[in-house]
Amino acid sequence: MQSLEKILNKFCFLLAIIISLPAVWTLLHPGFFGVSDDLHVAWLYEMGRSLAAGQIPPRFVPDLSYGFGYPLFNFVFPLPFYIGEIFRLLGSSLVDSVKGVFFLSLPIGAFFMYKLLREYTSNLLALAGVALYCYAPYRATDIYVRGAIGEIWAFALLPLIAWSILKVTDSQQKKILYWVGVGSLAVGGLVLSHNIAAYMFAPYIVLLVLMRVISQKNFSIKKIWPVLLTAVGGFLVSIYFWLPALLDSRQVKYDTVFNFIDHFPTLKQLVTPYFGYGASVPGPYDGMSFFLGEGSLLMIVIALISLVIFWKKLTVNQRVLLIWAWLTITSAIFMMNYRSTIIWKTIPLLPYFQFPWRFLMMTTFAVPLLVIALPKTKYTNLLAILIICVAIVPAINDFKPQQFLNRFDDYYLNRYIPVPQASVAYQQTGEEYLRLPIATSQRPDHNYPIPSISQGKISDLVQINSLSTELNTSTDQPATLSYYKYFFPGWIAEIDGQQVPLLAGQPFGQITLQVPSGQHQISIYFTETLLKRILDIISILAILVSLFVVMSNNLLLKITQKYNINKR
pLDDT digits 0-9 by tens, 75-126 = 999 999 999 999 999 999 999 999 999 999 999 999 999 999 999 999 999 9
| pLDDT at residue 565 in the model | 42
Hey, what amino acid is at 181?
Answer: G
pLDDT at residue 568 tops 50 = no
Are residues 372 and 478 located together in one domain of the fold?
no
β-strand partners of 481:
453, 513
Q: How many residues are listed for the chain in this entry?
A: 568
| Residue 562: inside a domain | no
pLDDT at residue 44 tops 50 = yes
Helix, coil or strand: residue 512 = strand
Looking at residue 488, the DSSP 8-state letter turns out to be: -
pLDDT at residue 127 tops 50 = yes
CA 301 – CA 194 distance, rounded (Å)? 31
Instruction: Give the dihedral sign, CA 369/372/374/377.
Output: positive
Burial class (CB in 10 A: 0-12, 13-18, 19+), 141: buried
What pTM did the predictor assign? Answer: 0.92
Instruction: Give the dihedral sign, CA 165/333/306/386.
Output: negative
| pLDDT at residue 450 in the model | 83
Other beta carbons within 10 angstroms of residue 94's beta carbon come to: 23
| Residue 167: inside a domain | yes
Are residues 210 and 68 located together in one domain of the fold?
yes
| Residue 538: inside a domain | no
pLDDT at residue 560 tops 70 = no
CA 137 – CA 507 distance, rounded (Å)? 45
Which whole number is the average pLDDT over 162-170? 92
Are residues 496 and 397 located together in one domain of the fold?
no
Domain boundary among 407, 425, 459: 407
pLDDT at residue 464 tops 80 = yes
Hey, what amino acid is at 558?
Answer: K
| pLDDT at residue 223 in the model | 77
| Residue 124: inside a domain | yes
Decide if 147 contacts 165 (C-beta within 8 A): no
CA 453 – CA 469 distance, rounded (Å)? 14
pLDDT at residue 219 tops 80 = no
| pLDDT at residue 213 in the model | 87
E strands, 234-365, are none
Would you place residue 429 in the very low, low, confident or very high pLDDT band (cuts 50, 70, 90)? confident
| pLDDT at residue 254 in the model | 73
Would you place residue 257 in the very low, low, confident or very high pLDDT band (cuts 50, 70, 90)? low
CA 51 – CA 154 distance, rounded (Å)? 24
Decide if 41 contacts 51 (C-beta within 8 A): no
| pLDDT at residue 99 in the model | 96
CA distance readout (Å), 13 to 16, 124, 126, 208, 383: 5, 11, 10, 26, 20
Decide if 412 contacts 41 (C-beta within 8 A): yes
| pLDDT at residue 563 in the model | 46
| pLDDT at residue 174 in the model | 75
CA 268 – CA 270 distance, rounded (Å)? 5
Domain count, the chain: 2
Which whole number is the average pLDDT over 217-244? 89
Which whole number is the average pLDDT over 550-565? 60
pLDDT at residue 214 tops 90 = no
Which whole number is the average pLDDT over 24-39? 92
* Prior bond of 30 cis (ω within 30°): no
| pLDDT at residue 557 in the model | 54
Are residues 390 and 458 located together in one domain of the fold?
no
Decide if 45 contacts 92 (C-beta within 8 A): no
Are residues 248 and 383 located together in one domain of the fold?
yes
Q: What percent of the chain has pLDDT over 70?
A: 94
pLDDT, tens digit (0-9, with 9 covering 90-100), for 327-357: 999 999 999 999 999 999 999 888 888 899 9
Helix, coil or strand: residue 440 = coil
| Residue 436: inside a domain | no
CA 201 – CA 11 distance, rounded (Å)? 31
Decide if 37 contacts 448 (C-beta within 8 A): no
User: In what helix (H) or strand (E) does residue 232 lie, and over which residues does it extend?
Assistant: helix 225-237
Which whole number is the average pLDDT over 296-324? 93
Rounded mean pLDDT of the chain? 91
pLDDT, tens digit (0-9, with 9 covering 90-100), for 388-410: 999 999 999 999 999 888 899 99
Q: What percent of the chain has pLDDT over 90?
A: 73
| pLDDT at residue 21 in the model | 95
CA 27 – CA 96 distance, rounded (Å)? 9
| Residue 104: inside a domain | yes
| pLDDT at residue 430 in the model | 75
User: In what helix (H) or strand (E) does residue 469 lie, and over which residues does it extend?
Assistant: strand 469-475
Domain boundary among 391, 407, 423: 407
Are residues 485 and 336 located together in one domain of the fold?
no
Helix, coil or strand: residue 461 = strand
pLDDT at residue 545 tops 70 = yes
User: Which of residues 133 and 567 earns the better pLDDT score?
Assistant: 133
| Residue 470: inside a domain | yes
Instruction: Give the dihedral sign, CA 296/302/307/313.
Output: negative
Are residues 32 and 144 located together in one domain of the fold?
yes
CA 312 – CA 289 distance, rounded (Å)? 38
The CA-to-CA distance between both ends of the chain, in Å, stands at 37
The CA-based diameter of the chain, rounded to the nearest angstrom, is: 94
pLDDT at residue 564 tops 50 = no
Are residues 118 and 14 located together in one domain of the fold?
yes
Are residues 364 and 459 located together in one domain of the fold?
no
| Residue 292: inside a domain | yes
Are residues 474 and 355 located together in one domain of the fold?
no
Would you place residue 507 in the very low, low, confident or very high pLDDT band (cuts 50, 70, 90)? very high
Lowest mean pLDDT among 26-30, 208-212, 446-450: 446-450
Sequence-ordered list of residues with C-beta below 8 angstroms from that of 411, at least 6 positions apart, any chain = 32
Which whole number is the average pLDDT over 534-543? 97
Are residues 389 and 470 located together in one domain of the fold?
no
Are residues 285 and 233 located together in one domain of the fold?
yes
Helix then strand then coil, in percent of the chain rounded to 5, is: 60, 10, 30
Question: What b-and-e string marks burial along 499-519, b requiring 16 or more CB atoms within 10 Å of the CB?
Answer: eeebebbeebbbbbbebeeee
Distance of CA 302 to the CA centre of its chain: 32
Instruction: Supply the range of the domain harboring residue 504.
Output: 451-526
